[in-house]
Structure 1
């Protein structure tokens, strides 16, 4: 128990005021403290707050001290949906932890308005650090196994009618592909040699045509409906 107290005290030093805290809202005590210990070893240091009640995590996020919340995909669809929506309104990013990539549930999980996904079996210090760096850059970290599952389901049928309804320009389609690769607006701008403002305009058009509130859901729908299944 003393180790847990030491962890909580050590991660609080000097990090609260920066608003870069990480709320680890996982119901499993073993996984929660495992993630906390891993986060403690990363640079730059962040305030790390373990929390065992996902349903009340939104209240903690309102403090403005946290830029990221980590949740478990098994903690209940309704609870997760409410938390991710509340976090989005507060400007807090959401990283969803998956025990495994279940083919029967991958579409439902991908539909959550989250900012990234991480599979427990992939969890290493390097992987966690890379995931957080990508989130900080505005990228969309999605495990390759999850992308393959979504693409396989898109190829299984139901995609052509949707593709006919969604009329993206060639440039919007290119932007959507790079969004699917997890590139930020700045990275897409460099790839095409255009301004970030121009990329934002294309992204806005893509979100509107796919009727999605954010990049995560747009990529999820595009994968499910076959817009990214080729290539």
Structure 2
């Protein structure tokens, strides 16, 4: 079965090039293109794609707001940006994006990214996601504690898993730190996502910071 894709970018040449690359893959089908966020939201509602490749900055409704609008749909959002330290990427992850790519991405990387996101995984490695989120968190105030009352529903081991995930550890590193198997870690992480209503690991990292469970500057495995 093909991965159904909507490509949204206000630059027609970029949009068309990405659509052409993806549509040429035997396991992918570009079902629609959109020139802004509103068109992207409408395309998702009409075509029910698996992946929305979305420019983060567009006139009118931008990619972040479009991501929020489709967050209740079973679509994975792959965000496009010009700068890898773009502060808006944090907002995109918080809104529900599963990862991001630079617009000058190579063909093979674009195709790989769509497959990864379509499979339900976050595009970014935990440590990369953590550095990005730290940069943004340092510039803003933490969310109110009441926004994360769901933390009370986590078991001590689930809470520990979330903290280690937020600090940038991989499943293997979390397993070693907790002296459990990777399978057990995956079970803990899945439970954390379900209890907190999060879409994927990227949002879990955001939650770890927003809840105050992890403090910016203390994300390394050693806490330094």
* TM-score grouping bracket, smaller chain normalisation: 0.5 to 0.7
**Structure 2 stretches lacking a partner, 5+ long:** 172-179
Name the residue aligned to 2:35: 52
The answer to whether the Cα contact below 8 Å between 1:27 and 1:53 also exists between their aligned partners in 2 is: yes
- Classify the secondary structure of the residue corresponding to 1:94: strand
Partner Cα separation in structure 1 for residue 158 and residue 78 of structure 2: 29
Partner Cα separation in structure 2 for residue 72 and residue 149 of structure 1: 18
105-114 or 30-39, which moves further after superposition? 105-114
Partner Cα separation in structure 1 for residue 182 and residue 64 of structure 2: 35
Partner Cα separation in structure 2 for residue 64 and residue 19 of structure 1: 13
190-199 or 51-60, which moves further after superposition? 190-199
Shift of 1:81: 4.0
Partner Cα separation in structure 1 for residue 35 and residue 119 of structure 2: 28
Partner Cα separation in structure 1 for residue 50 and residue 141 of structure 2: 37
The Cα offsets for residues 60-109 of structure 1, whole Å up to 9 and x where unpaired, read as 22234411111111125954344223322221111110111245444334
For this pair of structures, how many residues does the alignment match?
199
Please tell me whether residue 218 in structure 1 is matched to residue 201 in structure 2.
no
The answer to whether the Cα contact below 8 Å between 1:139 and 1:182 also exists between their aligned partners in 2 is: no
**Structure 1 stretches lacking a partner, 5+ long:** 1-17, 184-189
Change (3 A) 1:44 1:157: closer
Name the residue aligned to 1:135: 117
Please tell me whether residue 172 in structure 1 is matched to residue 159 in structure 2.
yes
Structure 1 length-normalised TM: 0.66
103-112 or 45-54, which moves further after superposition? 103-112
The Cα offsets for residues 155-183 of structure 1, whole Å up to 9 and x where unpaired, read as 78977x97xx9676244332564586787
Name the residue aligned to 2:51: 68
Shift of 1:150: 2.5
1:34-45 alignment, distance < 5 Å? 34-45=17-28
Please tell me whether residue 192 in structure 1 is matched to residue 177 in structure 2.
no
Partner Cα separation in structure 2 for residue 31 and residue 110 of structure 1: 22
The answer to whether the Cα contact below 8 Å between 2:163 and 2:213 also exists between their aligned partners in 1 is: no
The answer to whether the Cα contact below 8 Å between 1:172 and 1:203 also exists between their aligned partners in 2 is: no
Partner Cα separation in structure 2 for residue 149 and residue 21 of structure 1: 29
Shift of 1:29: 0.9
Name the residue aligned to 2:133: 150
Between Structure 1 and Structure 2, which shows a larger proportion of helix residues?
Answer: 1
Name the residue aligned to 1:114: 97
The answer to whether the Cα contact below 8 Å between 1:140 and 1:182 also exists between their aligned partners in 2 is: no
The answer to whether the Cα contact below 8 Å between 1:95 and 1:117 also exists between their aligned partners in 2 is: yes
Change (3 A) 1:154 1:229: farther
Shift of 1:201: 2.5
Partner Cα separation in structure 2 for residue 47 and residue 182 of structure 1: 33
